[in-house]
Amino acid sequence: MSQFSSIRRTFAVPFHISLSVSATLILSANLSLMPSAMAQVVQEVVITGNPLSKLQSANNVSSLSGMALTQQGQSTLGETLNNLPGVSSTYFGPNASRPIVRGLDGDRIRVLSNSGASLDVSALSYDHAVPMDVLTTERIEVLRGPASLQYGGSAIGGVVNVIDNRIPRKPMDGVLGKAQIQAATGQSERSQGALIEAGQGAWVFHADAFDRRTGDAKVPQALPCSKPGSAALSNHICNSASASNGGALGASMFFDRGFIGMSMNAYRSQYGTVAEDEVTIGMKSERAALEGEWRPQSGILQSLNFQASQTKYKHTEFDAGEAGTVFANQGHDIRLQARHKGWQVDQGQWDGVWGLQTEQGQFSAQGTEAFAPFSNTRAQAFFAIEEYTVGKASFNVGVRREQVSTQSLGNPDPTVNRFELGTRQFSPQSLATSAAWQLHPQWRLSANASRTERAPKDYELFANGPHIATAAWERGNSHLGLEKANSMDLSALWQQGPNQIQVTAFQSRFANFIGLMATHEIEEDLPVQIYQGVRAQFSGVEASGQWRLLQGTSTLDLVWKADSVRAQNLNANEPLPRIAPLRWGASLIHASGPWSARLGFDWHAAQNRVPTGSMATEAYTLWHCNVNYKQKVSGASLNWFAKIDNLSNQWAYSATSILTSTAPGKSPLPGRSLRLGVLAVF
């Protein structure tokens, strides 16, 4: 089997129903606008995190779309979002990373696909990638903190919603599409993606495809490499090449009071895991989705939405070309949500949504690194969110009740008898409330508070085996109880014309924070780590702003951001691991007609607050710049872009990457890279 051979695009026919929950929020322009529109500070965008479709919300949300997504897009979800305030990355080399939101990662961050469950095993291990690519993504939204209640306990830290238009949600007549091609020097990247949509009458059709190929990532200093065919010492991260492709077909039928649509998509990837010089992962994921909406003409319902999906995921870990451990996950989710019509109460109005959700997953791991057993997980949930709006203030309350069943099936290999068998059942209950006040045309205040409970995952309960990504022998604890957190955040937004400042302070206090804790045991030459519950506290601040320095035929803006998280294990009275240090950055953005340019930096402080066994990291600064040009050609819009990442070729290590401690020296951050590309929209 060729390590990075072409991957055939195949489409299975699983079944999915997806619910579209939308709301309009005001977001800063430097996150969601094209450079040519930098003269505006805020823009209304559709946010699936708010089911009540309000123009303003207390929810703390960031969004990447348009040219901002094109320019910041990387091959992994975590690195794509790493520059947003309050969001960092697990960074397991250039090919695998998940977002960390306010210091929380893994199964505390819910990754969604169009507001529906995205079934994979990326939360199980840091070297497992998320099966998505920004080349076919319309928008990515990050919903932080208590407002993510509606998506369950696994969203205790936040929600990352990857949005595409594979199921068209608006009727259209005619044809539209876009195509993107780009190349980058840092990893010898060559990638392209395209989509097309056509509509006539009641029908709209969608098709998209992408292909991305990279070599080993360049770094400022020489690193050793034992992989056959590679230099023993070179300025590259050994075994960091990748090849991925995929695509989708979708269609929707519209009627007078709603629509119904379906899509099928496939994703294929082969990539190197940088912790080991000869280990690669071959991944495939197939997902189908069905989504619909009905808006009854009479009665108490304003709209009824539904979605369901079925996903088949599998990846094989190859050691020197020989198949090793195989991880698989397949299952489905169904979500039904009803929004009732608003009714007047005194001087205000009540609006609300009620919903049901069910998920089922079947996990398996076979091979030498099968550290978790075969398992079945089932979850059912009821949720309700009501909002009262009066004048310039709004008050929101939500509740969620779940039933979760997790069953360990052991391993079918009779020689593997180390796993505990059994079933655990949990009944998490969560409550959230929020308030927002428009105190003045320039000032808006909001507050969120929640009491959230999360059921332990299958591996947290029943794991028992070697895990190379953590360089440990991991053991679950079948006696674990619910993870419980009390969370709150306070936000203030000031804006006047093109100028704005937003500051958010947050805190989450856990009565039973479930994490891997070190022991003094050794098994098969690996240190034993056990999942245990401890008291923990996360607190911090996020801030961002924009100031117009020059206004006229051209504009010049200063945009800035900063964040800080402090996380403490209250039982051991020591810091929790893999927490981002104080970060802040600033950029100058110049726009004149079809041209725009940006020059800026991101500074990361040294991270010396680490627990025993973790390594501290030094401070570093990453400079970046980009130039964009937009032109019209025969009815099409061409967006040319050039960007340089790590302009000064800085040598640095990520404080949030487990590799910094478990494989020191193996995976620094990538060095200087020039990216050139064009995005055509027609």
Mean predicted confidence (pLDDT) in 583-590: 97
pLDDT at 24: 28
CA distance linking residue 631 with residue 36, whole number of Å = 11
Q: Alpha carbon 172 to chain centroid distance?
A: 30
CA distance linking residue 304 with residue 576, whole number of Å = 43
Residue-averaged pLDDT of the chain: 89
CATH of the domain at 564: 2.40.170.20
User: Residue 658, class by beta-carbon neighbours within 10 Å (0-12 exposed, 13-18 middle, 19+ buried)?
Assistant: buried
* Digit-coded pLDDT (tens) for 77-105: 999 999 899 999 999 999 999 999 999 99
Number of domains into which the chain is organized: 1
pLDDT at 7: 39
pLDDT at 44 over 70: no
Within 10 Å of residue 346's Cβ, how many Cβ atoms?
7
CA distance linking residue 496 with residue 126, whole number of Å = 42
DSSP string, 42-55: EEEEEETT-TT--S
pLDDT at 33 over 60: no
CA distance linking residue 557 with residue 559, whole number of Å = 6
pLDDT at 522: 93
By the 8 A CB rule, do 214 and 75 touch?
A: yes
* Digit-coded pLDDT (tens) for 479-523: 999 999 999 999 999 999 999 999 999 999 999 999 999 898 999
Per-residue pLDDT band for 25 (boundaries 50, 70, 90) equals very low
* Digit-coded pLDDT (tens) for 363-373: 999 998 899 99
* Digit-coded pLDDT (tens) for 272-290: 999 999 999 999 999 999 9
pLDDT at 56: 52
Distant-in-sequence contacts of 460-463, Cβ < 8 A, 24+ apart: 460/514, 460/531, 461/406, 461/408, 461/424, 461/531, 462/372, 462/373, 462/375, 462/408, 462/419, 462/420, 462/422, 463/371, 463/372, 463/373, 463/531
pLDDT at 1 over 70: no
CA-based max dimension of the chain: 76
pLDDT at 40: 32
pLDDT at 49: 55
In one letter, which amino acid is 86?
Answer: G
Torsion of CA 417, 418, 423, 429, to 10 degrees: -160
pLDDT at 35: 36
CA distance linking residue 314 with residue 323, whole number of Å = 13
3-state class (DSSP) for residue 202 = coil
132 token code pair: 């998505």
By the 8 A CB rule, do 460 and 426 touch?
A: no
Per-residue pLDDT band for 9 (boundaries 50, 70, 90) equals very low
pLDDT at 528 over 50: yes
CA distance linking residue 161 with residue 155, whole number of Å = 11
> Percent of the chain, pLDDT > 90?
74
By the 8 A CB rule, do 507 and 486 touch?
A: no
pTM over 0.85: yes
pLDDT at 50: 62
Q: Would 223 be classed as within a structural domain? A: yes
Residue that wins the pLDDT comparison between 566 and 665 = 566
Residue 95 DSSP class: T
CA distance linking residue 557 with residue 534, whole number of Å = 45
Of 151-155, 393-397, 446-450, 575-579, give the lowest mean pLDDT range.
Answer: 151-155
Per-residue pLDDT band for 149 (boundaries 50, 70, 90) equals confident
Pairing mode of beta strands 139-144, 620-633: unpaired
Per-residue pLDDT band for 146 (boundaries 50, 70, 90) equals low
> 409 φ, ψ to 5°?
-105, 5
* Digit-coded pLDDT (tens) for 45-84: 444 556 665 545 556 788 888 888 988 888 899 999 998 9
By the 8 A CB rule, do 314 and 327 touch?
A: yes
Mean predicted confidence (pLDDT) in 563-572: 96
By the 8 A CB rule, do 554 and 591 touch?
A: yes
CA distance linking residue 309 with residue 117, whole number of Å = 8
Residues of the domain holding 446? 23-190+203-304+350-373+390-681
CA distance linking residue 61 with residue 46, whole number of Å = 11
By the 8 A CB rule, do 100 and 108 touch?
A: no
CA distance linking residue 542 with residue 544, whole number of Å = 7
Q: Would 212 be classed as within a structural domain? A: yes
CA distance linking residue 357 with residue 653, whole number of Å = 41
Q: Would 495 be classed as within a structural domain? A: yes
By the 8 A CB rule, do 70 and 49 touch?
A: no
Q: With residue 69 as reference, give the H or E element that holds it.
A: helix 66-72
Q: Would 217 be classed as within a structural domain? A: yes
pLDDT at 117: 83
* Digit-coded pLDDT (tens) for 302-333: 999 999 999 999 999 999 889 989 999 999 99
Of 97-111, 152-166, 250-264, give the lowest mean pLDDT range.
Answer: 152-166
Per-residue pLDDT band for 545 (boundaries 50, 70, 90) equals very high
pLDDT at 363: 96
* Digit-coded pLDDT (tens) for 385-442: 899 999 999 998 989 999 999 999 999 999 999 999 999 999 999 998 989 999 889 9
